[in-house]
Amino acid sequence: MRRGAALLLVLALAWLVANLDAPQGAPSRVTGLALGVALIAAYLAGVLLERLKLPKVTGYLLFGLVCGPYLLNFITRPMARELQIFNGLAVALIAFIAGLEINITRLAPRLAALTRLSVVILGTMYVCLFVVFWLVWPWLPILPDAPPVLRAALAFLLTAVVASFSPTVTIAVVAESRSSGIFTETALAVVILADLALILMFTVAMEVVRWTGGSASHEIGLLASASWEIIGSLAFGAIVGALFSFYLRSIGREVTLVLVGVCLLLSLAARALHFEPVLAALAAGLVVENIAPPAGDVLKRAVERGALPVLVIFFVAAGASLQVDALATIGLVALAVAVLRGLLAWGGAHLGARMAGQEPPVSNLLWMALISQAGVTLGLTLIAAQEFPTWGPPFQTLMVALIGINQLVGPVALRMALGRAGEVGQMDEGAAPPH
Amino acid sequence: MGDSPRSGISRETRMLLIVITLSVAVLIVLSRFRFPDNGAGTPTTASLPLDRLAARATYDELATIIAELGRRVGPQVTVLRVERAGEQRYVPALRMRADLLLAHLPGDSRILELVDLDVPIDIAGFDAERELVLLRVPPDPARVARIDLGAQSASRPRYVASVEGTPGGPALRPLFLGRTDRVSDDRYDEGLLVLGGVLVASPGSLIFGLDGAFIALSVSDSGYAAGVTGRELEAAVDGMVQPAPQ
Amino acid sequence: MTREPLRSRELGGADPLDTQLGLPRQSLLQRLRDGRLAPLFQRRAALGLRPGIAPAIVLVPMGMLLGPQVLNVLSVEVLAHLQVGISIGLALLGIFVGRALAREVRNLRVIVAGNIESGMTIVIVGLALWFIITQSLVPVGGSAVLVAFCLAVTAAASSGHTADPRSDPAARLASRVADFDDLLLILTGAVLLVLVRRSYGPVSPTLLVAPVVIGVAVALAGLLLFEHSEEESERGLLVLGAVSLIGGASAYLMTSSLAAGLVAGLVWTLLPGRADEIVSREAQKLQHPLVALLLVAAGAFFVPSVMVLWLVVPYVLFRLVGKILGAISTAALLPGIRAVDLAGYLVPPGVIGVGFSLTFMLALPAEAGRIVVSVAAAGTLISEVLGMLLVPAAPTSNGATDEMANAETTP
């Protein structure tokens, strides 16, 4: 009741302000208002959905979608763009938290099994998706009359992008639900390893498409490019993490401020240097946790407690950025691809769990952690679309629609899996019983 | 916190130093392969992850770059045939939304036709102060321009492309910008970008980066080519589509 | 309401994360046992003021270095995105001012003294700068009187330093005066913002009451939400949401975030409940980064020019004159502290003045806004350095009244 009244008050204020005077000029002036309303209203929407036995994350996403540019347009397109810019900082913070979660000593005994698991999952998805795409290519709206060699190359590229997961969303859901345990650890490890594979496979796929299309070849080697993106990102993040650890030990003042600065550095500098911000932030958190463990643990708990606003904004921005018009254009095809992808994730996860000797809940729930797709996949899609303008736009439309579906369903599925695994709230001592 | 004895370096410190040293060494080695021509004048553009995968030619292959860029940005531009004071000319219009084109036109211009679009002329909005006109066309989300907000005001020497209107469609021309600087302008909150000094881009032309991102709309400002950035144009479009309540 | 030790509004004590991490308590400066700086800090320590460098002295130059004029790490685009954080930071400062005022509402003499002092400074600096601008025909890119009085409002702010309760009562009294002089500033600033907007176009008259409406609405929403949230993370989110709403709504209407925050802080503290405590505790986590953001942003917006140089010298000088005359005028209200000592304590400007300048920058035309921020940033820096030299060297217990210095409202 109180929350409802507060929500009404907040919305009434926002409506009054918006109608009192139209904003002039810079979109950043409207962002603050959107931020304030989104934080309170989206969170209350999440709480409301929690009462309906749905994850809070769903509430944040739906709030963003409903209030976004395509529906109510309360979060207008400029606001959505401004919120996306905060995403850079949010992604870095979220990945840093994930790095703080990874204890190498605890994970080392399971590393071989996790690698085997990931390889089987990805292998299953790659092979099956490639075959299906090759067979149904004439019915896909991406250059249906492509010659056989180009068709194979495009099917490979599409496979690489479709068989990708979202470490950011996974980490965000884990952090938001304060989950911890074997299943959480496994899911995180699999999606992060898959992210590394994605970068490599996309690089290879793009080169193959270029070769078949007769485009100019790279001046920079494939291996050099991928190595810089993967290994370089980890090295850069490790340097930042080590320097941060030194700061904590020797100076240790204004840690909040410095932490924000570190996340900004990881986000902005990483992009400028062509690193992958998620990997860099992950490596930074890893170094802090594994080399300065006492500080890492305390920092982790403090940051996780304070990360909720960042997570809410992340999901609201994700919801607001969903391109509903793409769904309207190519929704059925995207839905079919999403269902196929989900089925293959389920099959691959079961097979992989069996081959890696994983027990329930990993064996029967892991596939639910492999549904989400988000930023990195979208970024790669844009790269491909811009380089190949003949078939790029329909490719982009299909992928945007697919990502939209998976972005809505994925966090919900993961949250349900975490709940069924009994790992929700296990990050805290004396946590409430899992949802 | 930590196990730091008074004498010697603690284990934690040693490990951190090793991590830093190894990481720096790795980066140095990788950079030699990643950036083989690491000269001082090599321009770099900060953009999306993995965009370096896109083929980038050197200075000598500028024509190839421009041709490929034309294929990429061409769909985002529609040429208008306009008349002003008895003279006809061709003006490029940028697709800002799926169904909206934006062009820079003085108020006394008359739009005669859309060169490569066989649709009636439907003016959705006009901003007399900024001399911007908004045209409504059949929606096509795939042709919406990509505006890279991050690359706009970096004042560094670089090549860009100017898109101008011709009877056959949009035509690209490489421009070299020695620098871009901001100047204040009452019509725009964030001012204008002075594009390199003397007039190098015709008013109304569209400036794109070599990565296909839209940078600015060229307008004339006291004899200098000045650019209105994508962010300002987005705000202007929002204002024209949703005018302020009285 | 519970008792809390006096704290600096600007930084609110140590960063809570530092405390949780159990990090080294000694700052780098405290480790400097030798050097010319040591006697200065020892002198300040003897007065009960915690030795340390004011954040502006480090952060404003850092902003200048990182800004578009030098390294361009904080480019114009980045600064545009940071505007959101700036308005939220100002709202937070306003909330703290409102809390402090509400808690000390019975200490009328000190509140009145503070506002007389700031009022005099505004008048003196405003008239002086107006005269200089009009006589010298310095191009300020806008209305001379508005620019002059915008600068005057930024000049009138003083920072209150944390005082050790065992220290000299006069020093603590001076800190309170510095704390309470913000009320008139915030109100004047809000009115000035509306006048600035009116000078460039029609403005709805409801804009004058907008900060009150925003502050009250958000405060009421907060009262309904804060006390009934069970988890710390939820409380943190709701408080951040409320502060963002205050800052965002104010920025949207281009009114004063400080004023809206002041109203919200007053409501939360005066009405029954624990909302003010909850806000204070959660907002502390944001305080350091947001204050740092304000100072760094002000430095980054700094654009050196002849106009700025021409104005910054009279800005600092007349600010000093205003503080001295203000202290003399209010000394009669404040037994227990000499006027000249009070003036010395009021020299350090703190962060609110810089915050004002950032707000004015949004409303004024581009050139005028840049000049206001540049003069305020440079003036703040110079005044902070002056403050290190002008703070009194010896205790001044002249029949000091501990009651006035220690006055706290009781529940």
Examine the pLDDT at B43 and tell me if it is beyond 50.
no
pLDDT tens string C134-162: 998 877 877 889 999 999 999 998 886 54
Q: Do B190 and C367 touch (CB under 8 A)?
A: no
Domain definitions of chain B by residue range? 76-143, 149-230
The beta-carbon neighbor of C20 closest among A9, A36, A302 is A302
Q: Do C210 and A20 touch (CB under 8 A)?
A: yes
Identify the burial level of B143 via C-beta atoms within 10 angstroms of its C-beta, where 0-12 means exposed, 13-18 middle and 19 or more buried.
middle
Examine the pLDDT at B176 and tell me if it is beyond 80.
no
Report the pLDDT averaged over residues C292-307: 89
Edge-to-edge strand order for the sheet containing B132-136?
Answer: B110-114, B77-84, B87-97, B100-104, B132-136, B123-127
Supply the CATH classification number for the domain B149-230: 2.40.10.10
Question: Which chain A residue has its CA at the smallest distance from B45's CA?
Answer: A272
Element (H, E) at B217: strand B214-221
Question: Which domains are seen in chain C, by residue range?
Answer: 52-405 (1.20.1530)
Coil, strand or helix at A155 = helix
B21 touches chain A (CB under 8 A): no
pTM, entire model: 0.71
pLDDT of residue B242: 57
pLDDT tens string C169-216: 777 777 788 878 888 999 999 999 888 888 766 777 778 888 999 999
Q: Do C233 and A302 touch (CB under 8 A)?
A: no
* Sign of the four-CA dihedral A363, A368, A374, A380: positive
Per-residue pLDDT of chain A (435 residues; tens, 9 = 90+): 778 888 888 888 887 887 765 544 445 567 788 888 888 988 888 888 888 877 788 888 888 888 887 788 777 776 777 776 677 788 888 888 888 877 788 778 888 888 899 999 999 999 999 999 999 888 887 877 788 888 888 899 999 999 989 888 888 888 888 888 889 888 988 998 888 888 788 888 888 887 776 654 554 566 777 788 888 999 999 999 999 988 887 777 777 778 888 888 888 787 778 888 888 998 999 898 888 776 667 777 777 767 788 888 888 887 887 777 766 777 788 889 999 999 999 999 999 988 888 887 788 899 999 998 877 787 788 778 777 777 887 888 888 888 888 888 898 899 889 989 888 888 765 433 333
The beta-carbon neighbor of C236 closest among A23, A24, A308 is A308
Buried b (16+ CB within 10 A) or exposed e, A4-32: eebbebbeebbeebbebbebebbbbbbbb
Examine the pLDDT at B39 and tell me if it is beyond 50.
no
C218 touches chain A (CB under 8 A): yes
pLDDT of residue C167: 59
Minimal Cα–Cα distance from B173 to chain A, Å?
19
Q: What was the ipTM of the complex prediction?
A: 0.78
Cβ contacts (< 8 Å) between B156 and chain C: which residues?
none
Length of chain B: 246
DSSP assignment string, C315-372? HHHHHHHHHHHHHHHHGGG-TTS-HHHHHHHH---TTHHHHHHHHHHHHS-HHHHHHH
Q: Do A259 and C80 touch (CB under 8 A)?
A: no
Residue in B1, B152, B182, B184 to test binding to C, most C beta-carbons within 10 Å: B184
The beta-carbon neighbor of B50 closest among A22, A248, A380 is A380
**C30 band by pLDDT with thresholds 50, 70 and 90:** low
pLDDT tens string B179-210: 677 777 777 777 777 766 555 667 888 988 87
Cβ contacts (< 8 Å) between A393 and chain B: which residues?
75, 142-143
Minimal Cα–Cα distance from B218 to chain A, Å?
19
Residue in B4, B129, B147, B153 to test binding to C, most C beta-carbons within 10 Å: B153
The beta-carbon neighbor of C249 closest among A2, A36, A40 is A36
Minimal Cα–Cα distance from C20 to chain A, Å?
7
Chains that touch A (3 or more CB pairs under 8 A): B, C
Identify the burial level of A417 via C-beta atoms within 10 angstroms of its C-beta, where 0-12 means exposed, 13-18 middle and 19 or more buried.
buried
Question: Which domains are seen in chain A, by residue range?
Answer: 2-19+28-85 (no CATH), 88-420 (1.20.1530.20)
pLDDT tens string C208-247: 888 999 999 999 999 988 887 877 788 888 999 999 999 9
Q: Over pLDDT 70: what percentage of chain B?
A: 72
pLDDT of residue A120: 92
Q: Which two tokens stand for residue A322?
A: 């969903």
Cβ contacts (< 8 Å) between B13 and chain A: which residues?
246, 249
C residues 233-272 closer than 8 Å to A (CB): 233-234, 236-238, 240-249, 251-254
Higher-pLDDT residue of C34 and C102 is C102
Cβ contacts (< 8 Å) between A308 and chain C: which residues?
233-234, 236-237
Question: Which is nearest to C88 in space by CA: C204, C242, C201, C197?
Answer: C242
C145 touches chain A (CB under 8 A): no
Cβ contacts (< 8 Å) between B211 and chain A: which residues?
386
Other C-beta atoms closer than 10 Å to the C-beta of B209 total 21
pLDDT tens string B111-135: 888 887 878 888 888 888 888 898 8
